[in-house]
Structure 1
């Protein structure tokens, strides 16, 4: 039996992290500190030759950037959290990096590719090529001050390569109030372990970092804020830029999916503060707080919003929504692009979805 808390110099500390076996459900161990949780994930790199810009592309480009081939038999390629150093002076090429799951254009693809960020066309190129990354060893994931479960203790005593391959596991994370926050899946392979200075019978367990995708460093302040517990006032996210609003929305969604929600009776009246709905993450954060209060969730994309309107997220139809300062969302979200570059009105689609879900919206 692994305790959820342990005593240290008269203070009661709660174990924030649990490494759990995904297949059998037991806990390998619990700890209060994880080294290597934050870092820089492996990013795909693309060179776009013959780049013809339609907008300046430098720094952070967008959370979802689409590369659309002229060949209509090929689907667009998604590059998440895309960045660029811009177009080097005197060259006709642009370099983009992003999280691409190692997917991209077919090997040897030749042909024009257009690029957009979901709202604006950024430019086009005559040819695109993926740059293979240099081989670099990833830092390990270290669970410090770990209280071992019986299964982990047996695996470490065995010590064989097979025993130390814990296979698919979940690093389950809770906030300082003991409530589930999120989790990260990984293939847990033990590379080393040693006694921990955190206490007697505790160990520092080192896992192979090549098998773990770290949380990006830019999201660290967001996570540290949520470690303390959910916000107690609405709009704690409004001062964030779009990239960090996306990180905030990710935690809102992941936390909500680990909680049970009691639907309110039909006929409830909601009010949405629309002053800061200047981007897509802001739309869903404001909508989530309108329905479920500070830090609340009510969809993170159109499909998720449709699911929430069907119940289980504290909503029951029919209901009413007063959308204050709706002109802000209309200005920023009316001109959007589908993955293949077709224009559509995101603000209008959201209004239609709400209406179909039994939410009567009044724009103010």
Structure 2
């Protein structure tokens, strides 16, 4: 077995360019002495046009260089040595542009995107849930799930959250987190009734998506089973 287990080399850090920064302490100190300042890690907050936080990403605060910004007005362009590994995919660009205008207010705005884009949409709903004020759980009543666009797993969780809480809201992004949400603390808790319209779309699209390889149920069947096991009356139409 000698030579089988060898330490992996750490990936080389990828720099991040911050354009148009209004540098304040302690970042200003780093930009004045970029080669000597190592800094630490911090969250880079992404704001929408109204100033609300729509996303955050960890970045290293080690500064490689700084220069007057191409935007002028006394701003600076700063190069961070390590922009972190948790960066949005190119598929997220259009989603971020849409959310930049403000949280989604209309249903099914996630529907035009593919599975990768819908996953990026769920990323933003997760952040929105973390910064939102907690709401007491509601139980009882009937909710209507628009199943016309549920053609993949991310789309299913976009549609469920929208049915229960409204556009742009979070109620899990995969089986485990969805299961946690059903325990309460996320705005809606069983028992309640969910009428799933056009459910056959998801049944067919998710037929080969299997959550548990032992029971071989499709993801659609697993979600229905989970809902019913938690006291939700599921009406498939």
The TM-score, its normalising length taken from structure 1, stands at: 0.57
Q: Which runs of 5+ in 1 are unaligned?
A: 1-105, 109-131
Q: Residue in 1 aligned with 2:77?
A: 204
Confirm or deny that 1:144 pairs with 2:19.
yes
Counterparts in 2 of 1:235 and 1:187: CA distance versus 1, 3 Å: same
Matched, 1:296 2:156: no
Deviations 1:142-201 (A, max 9, x none): 22222223222334445562xx21211111112112222111112221001123354554
Cα deviation 1:68-100 (Å, max 9, x = unaligned): xxxxxxxxxxxxxxxxxxxxxxxxxxxxxxxxx
**CA contact 1:336–1:343 (8 Å) conserved in 2:** no
Note the C-alpha offset of 1:107: 6.1
Specify which structure has the higher proportion of strand.
Answer: 1
CA RMSD of aligned residues (A): 2.7
What is the rounded CA distance, in whole Å, between the counterparts of 2:127 and 2:90 in structure 1? 18
Q: Does 1:216 align with 2:89?
A: yes
The partner residue of 1:356 within 207, 229, 236 is 229
Structural mapping, 1:29-68, within 5 Å: none
Please identify which structure carries the higher helix content.
Answer: 2
**1:303 offset after TM fit, Å?**
0.9
Q: Distance in 1 between matches of 2:113 and 2:45?
A: 26
1:265–1:220: structure 2 CA closer, same or farther, 3 Å change rule? Answer: closer
TM-score by length of 2: 0.84
Aligned counterparts, 1:1-364, within 5 A: 138=14, 140-157=15-32, 161=36, 164-209=37-82, 211-338=84-211, 343-364=216-237
Take 2:215 and 2:141, find their aligned partners in 1: how far apart are those partners?
Answer: 36
How many residues are paired up?
Answer: 231
